[in-house]
Amino acid sequence: MLKSNHKHLLMFSLLLLFVCAGSTTSAQKKSANYIKPDLKIKKGLSDDQLLDLVQKQTFRYFWDFAHPVSGMARERSNRSFDYGEEVVTTGGTGFGVMATIVAAERKFITREQAAAHTKKIVDFLWKADTFHGAFPHWLNGETGKVIRFSQKDDGADIVETSLLFEGLLTAKQYYTADNAVERDIRNKISWMWDGIEWDWFTQNQDVLYWHWSPNNGWSMNHQIKGWNECLMTYVLAASSPKHGISRRVYENGFANNNTYFNGKKYFDITLPLGFDYGGPLFFAHYSFLGLDPRGLNDGRTDYFEQNKAHTLINRAYCIENPKGYKGYNANSWGLTASDSWQGYAAHSPTEDQGVITPTAALSSFPYTPEYSMQALRHFYENKGDQIWTEYGFADAFSEQHNWVAKSHLAIDQGPIIVMIENYRSGLLWKLFMSNPDVKTGLTKLGFKSPALNP
């Protein structure tokens, strides 16, 4: 028995040594570029200091938590819903590419580090699965093979592809140095961009279709219509130099639906487009990480005024708080898609579960800077001990249900970094809007913008 115990103890010791060695190796791999999280809540920071802190800590999601092989953004930070360790997201990676540019300009990392990381992503995408040039929603971050998003969604997703290329086209405008790394970034982005067959996704109709599967064809049959997060998809489809759609597809497809125009007043605020009360706030964010809404007008809508109205209505609803939820007030507001106490949900005034999602208010800084700063200070100074984490703010929380998400999502963390930077400097707007193909596409669709005629 003693010999047996000794043998087990020896085996355990060897196993522990192996694990510790592995942990040390992992830590050594991280140490060179590691950004240390700042978890201690500091009262009295200036606005700029607080914005710096939030951008830097949130960027860790796309840097320290990036997939080690591909460099791409993981779908989420937890393993809920059986996602697994290898799932990376294409749209969220586009946001991460833009966040990396912010990190370089804010000196969280060097430009050389940013370029190397972006090249790692671009090199991986160059060899990854595509379908008529378009990427799937999810990829295996180690192999580049498609991971099924739903039963029939195992092929092209042109909305996720557009969010990915919103980031990549911005990167192409940023990495302009005459060196091997930055040239390779630009070249591969151009080659992949030219290969996306946007016009094929119309099925010869005046509308774009969201999905196509090599196994299920067009069976999802999801037309992209009505006001939502997909303006970027139509803009990039029109901007393609080789597979561009016509203005007719935009006007008869996206802008021709009973959920497009609104014109009604909510809390005495006129909402030009969209669902009653505006829908989830990510409609005002995803396409506008790159598209500069200031003065952007297609002859029907001023997009800055649309997004500002949507944000103000969302906040006013939280202040009125018709369902009497605990924790809603002028400093604690913001309803958008996120995790909730009972699963993922597209929170909005018409789908209100008592859940506040920090990205809603924080990604709205360009539209409501005073109110967004009030929300930021409340989230950090008053609730930071509950919701401030190594990757910025937790995805969502509900005081009503005494619940805080244990998760972070790429599509929620990314817009915080990018839209705060657009508020501070307009950096990503300037880069994306300077792309010649984007200028051509916007002009084709009838858009006017100061950025088109600088």
This prediction's pTM? 0.93
Q: SS3 of 70, please?
A: coil
Give the pLDDT of residue 454: 66
Pair of tokens at residue 432: 């994306």
pLDDT, residue 127, reads 98
- Surface-to-core class of residue 121, CB atoms within 10 Å of its CB (0-12 exposed, 13-18 middle, 19+ buried): buried
Q: Is 157 exposed, middle or buried (0-12, 13-18, 19+ CB in 10 A)?
A: buried
Phi, psi of 297 (to 5 degrees): -150, 130
Per run of 10 residues, the mean pLDDT along the chain (length 454 residues) is: 35 32 35 87 97 98 97 88 83 98 98 98 98 98 96 97 99 98 98 98 98 97 96 98 98 92 98 98 98 96 98 98 98 97 96 98 98 98 98 98 97 98 98 98 98 86
Confidence (pLDDT) at 78:
82
3-state secondary structure of 143: coil
Q: What local confidence, expressed as pLDDT, does residue 81 receive?
A: 62
- State the chain's maximal CA–CA distance in angstroms: 86
What span, in angstroms and rounded, lies between the C-alpha atoms of 412 and 298?
Answer: 28
